[in-house]
A and B are shown apart, each in its own frame.
Chain A
Amino acid sequence: MIAKKFLIHTTFLMVLLALTTKAKADSWRYQTRGFLSARLSTYTEEKSRNYGQLTRAQFEQLTEFSTNLTALNQLRWTSNTIDTDLSTKSTPSKKDNFDAYLGENYIKYKSDSWVAQIGYQEVVWGEAFGFNYADIINPKDQRQTFFSDASEARLPLLLFNGKSFFSSGDFSGSLQFLYSPEPRFSKTLPIDIYAGNLFLQSTLKVIKERTPQMFKETEIGGKISASYAGFDLALFTFSYLDREPHYLFSSATLTNITLQEEHTKIKSSGFSLAKTIYDFVFRTDVVMTQDKLVNYTVNSQLKTFSTSSLNALVSLDTPTYNDFSGVLILARSTLKDIMLNSFRQRQEQYFIGKISKNLGNEKALEFSYIHEFENSGHSVQTFLNWPINNLTDLKLGGEFYFGDDLSNLKKFKNVSSVFVSIKNYFQL
């Protein structure tokens, strides 16, 4: 069993080892680079836990064996007191989290008409950015806040990723095939945020589900993309283990309840489209997910029901005017069925408006507002991005969540904070 688990890793390392012993190794090119970043946040709502810090480092080595064959090896490290603060309950005490994990680690072969990439990697589908329903492949670290880079929240997945390209005149496109023998799950927010007021017990404990053994559960999917006459269109489908869990009852006392996480197979299909209209860019992502299990409670008993969800998003990027540019997004997620006391609402609908002012030299002032229609939730974020020199970025900002207690955005209230962060890039 252990041998099976490490089969791919071992094969991958053996291939690398075999390649490194070749005499040609002298002609290989290496690039070692990465970054170190630190963020200090002051929470504006909970005086007792009024600060948190997040430090992060990434080291990366890119090896070019030839113009066609390359390998990437990344190591990521985080030290975090911010994640543990993402709870509506004031009981958890603040503690440091330390994570050291492999980032993207893959080997890639490129030919003129196709590419094959094998290993731990990030694959992103969809046209929208900032709020992306079609980004379904990789699990996410949902504990990251809005100001984390998307790449920092995304967790690499072991994949065989093959893509072929075709074109004819003005028409171009691609066909992509994905296969994962080792599904992974998202790092989720504390369950209290969704279910805190649905149980009599004051403490909710969750037993995490472990990642399935390799080849026990497999995931498969693909995407076909085409660009023609100013349109980008993609159709995609992916059959995978739900990145987010549903919960099963495990045990309970008068004060504690213990739940067991479970992830079931779901299938998402959809399309994305982008079109330039004068200097505006219109984007849309539509994703339909089947067989999703959602929790609800009846008389403090935990149950699940199966449903499908339809997530749709439209966005419009405005042209730049006097160094100002903006993005307008309307996003809506709807469940086909709903039960009373469900862990989520039937419909979640958001309007997002972003405006940024280019201050020159990559300096930018950004402001965004999110309005949650159901239960009237609000979020305001603003930050100033100030590169000090070619290798160091300084960022100052704040993010604030408020509104009705039932709104999703209000549930993140403890994240309201002002922060300062510094990020250093290096190349050896």
Chain B
Amino acid sequence: MKNTALFLTLALIFPLSAFAEINPNEIVKKADLKRGLGNVSHSFNVIITDQDHRIENYHVAFKDVNNSLTEQTEPERARGRKILMHEYDIWLFNPNIKKPLRISLEQKLTGQVSNGDIARTNYAEDYEAKLLGIEKQNNIEVYHLDLKAKNNKVTYGKIEYIVAKKDFSPIEATFFALSGKPLKHANFSDFKPIQGMSRSTKMVIQDYLQKDKFSTMIFTDHKTEKFSESYFNKERLEF
């Protein structure tokens, strides 16, 4: 009788704990923390290099998932160009035009990189995850996830996401338009200890059809930093 009770108890506990372990949205949340500092107010720099070795530099002020300001620092012709994101609203400030202009989220920033790839990177916030399976890639067990956009305001309609089972490190992602058309593919690498956790510092984004077109994003200088509310006011961009 005792054994039966123990068996039933174990049978109830183990499937539940196994299910908890593979809650797909939790996997995405943990993987997000491997690509940035999460929803903590901080700043970082991004260096984007394309297939022709052209380099662009950006400084990003990230208050939370809904407020970020990206400022271009190189090349010289584009210095001072700013992109402000507040929730799903986005404004571009160009020093020549001298006023902030509302733009749509899908507008590309440079090469294969969209505005959302820099400033709105918390997939757990914008996508509903579904676990397609646990697979083996290069002798590593990975979660194969299907991320569907929670609304049509986000950068992509769907993301196919591969995350390491062992430590939730993101490995690769394929991005699809709202129409379902595959747009680009990304690989995450160069994991380094940042603010007490191993995080990816390199993302290579490749055009899905034209494989010779790619952009490499290197993330550096992550610092926790507090910003005032008005820092993310679009009327402040011109200053």
Contact = CB atoms under 8 A, between A and B. Distances in A.
Interface of A: 33, 108, 110, 112-113, 115, 117, 122-127, 129, 149-151, 154, 163, 165-167, 170, 172-174, 176, 225, 227, 230, 232, 274-276, 278-281, 283, 317, 319-320, 325, 358, 360-362, 387, 389-391, 393, 423, 425-427
B21 interface: no
Contacts of B52: 361
B76 A390 contact: yes
Nearest to A278: B152
Contacts of A115: 236, 239
For the complex, would chain A's binding face be called helix, strand, loop or mixed by DSSP majority? Answer: strand
Contacts of A274: 101-102
Contact of A163 (B108, B228, B235): B235
B232 to A, nearest CB: 8
Interface stretch (B31-39, B91-99, B196-204, B217-225): B91-99
A280 B104 CA distance: 7
B111 interface: yes
A173 B232 CA distance: 11
Contacts of A427: 76, 79
A410 B96 CA distance: 28
A319 B104 contact: yes
Contacts of A176: 235
B89 interface: yes
A358 B54 contact: no
Given A390-B55, A391-B77, 10 more contacts: A113-B230, A115-B239, A163-B235, A166-B230, A172-B233, A176-B235, A232-B102, A317-B103, A358-B108, A427-B76
A163 B213 CA distance: 44
A89 B104 CA distance: 46
Nearest to B105: A279
B30 interface: no
Given A172-B234, A391-B75, A361 B239 contact: no
B104 A150 contact: no
Given A113-B228, A174-B235, A360 B111 contact: yes
Given A112-B228, A163-B239, A319-B104, A387 B77 contact: yes
Contacts of B235: 163, 165, 172-174, 176, 225
B208 to A, nearest CB: 13
Given A167-B229, A232-B234, A129 B77 contact: no
A170 B234 contact: no
Contacts of B229: 167, 172
Nearest to B234: A227
A393 B101 contact: no
B54 to A, nearest CB: 6
Contacts of A361: 50, 52, 54, 111
A249 B108 CA distance: 55
B87 interface: yes
B130 interface: no
B195 interface: no
A124 B99 contact: yes
B106 A279 contact: yes
Nearest to B96: A151
B98 A122 contact: yes
A127 B228 contact: no
Contact of A391 (B76, B97, B110, B236): B76
Contacts of A389: 54
B76 A426 contact: yes
Contacts of A387: 77
Could you say which of B55, B79, B107, B230 has the most chain A C-beta atoms within 10 Å of its C-beta?
Answer: B230
5 contacts: A165-B233, A279-B106, A281-B103, A320-B108, A362-B78
